[in-house]
Amino acid sequence: MKKTNHCELCDLQAFDFKSGIICGLTKQKPSFQKQCSNISLEQKLAEKLVEINLECEDLKHVKRQSILNLVFYLIIGIAVIYLSYFIGTILPEAIIFHTITIIIFVAGLVLLGKGIGGINFYNQRYKVLSPKKEVLDQLTRIYNIDYEFKSQITTDLMDVKRTNFELFIGGKSFVTKHVID
């Protein structure tokens, strides 16, 4: 793990255009071994915990929606492809029906692609978010910080997403918010 990962969560961090993230106390790059003895983990840690855990909870919501979309579009897509096969075998004499059959078949493939696209989107977001979450959890273990993140994501009929969350650090409620997307 990079030492600057510790500094990104510290309230004392500073930034230098030459060196990047530096310690606000020593004005130098971090030089500790396993953990920093001067680290101040409060506001930036809470912000990062909320940010990454909200993304993880949102990703769980996206996963459920992606699976439902995959099933829905897979069923509809296969039905449309079967319809094109059915039309092509029943009415093979008329040329216009061959064109319609091809159009219906392509529409079925598009529906299948739409279902698979949601799963691909989920997988890409998971590959980006998973390492961030692992690093954050490693840092909280290094500094013996226990946290609990509770959230509830709901969507209404107009697809407006509401997120209620609460962050507990060391058993005390630290942040409680309601977010509307």
* Residue 76 pLDDT: 95
54 in any annotated domain:
yes
* Residue 92 pLDDT: 64
* Residue 42 pLDDT: 85
User: Distance (Å, rounded) from C-alpha 39 to C-alpha 24?
Assistant: 10
Q: Looking at the structure, do residues 49 and 20 belong to the same domain, yes or no?
A: no
Domain that holds residue 51: 43-144
Q: Looking at the structure, do residues 59 and 119 belong to the same domain, yes or no?
A: yes
User: Which segments within 44-136 are labelled E, that is strand?
Assistant: none
* Residue 25 pLDDT: 82
180 in any annotated domain:
no
Three-state SS for 23-67 is: ECCCCCCCCCCCCCCCCCCCHHHHHHHHHHHHHHHHHHHHHHHHH
pLDDT tens per residue, range 16-58: 888 788 888 888 888 888 888 888 888 888 889 988 998 998 8
User: Is a pLDDT exceeding 90 seen at residue 77?
Assistant: yes
157 in any annotated domain:
no
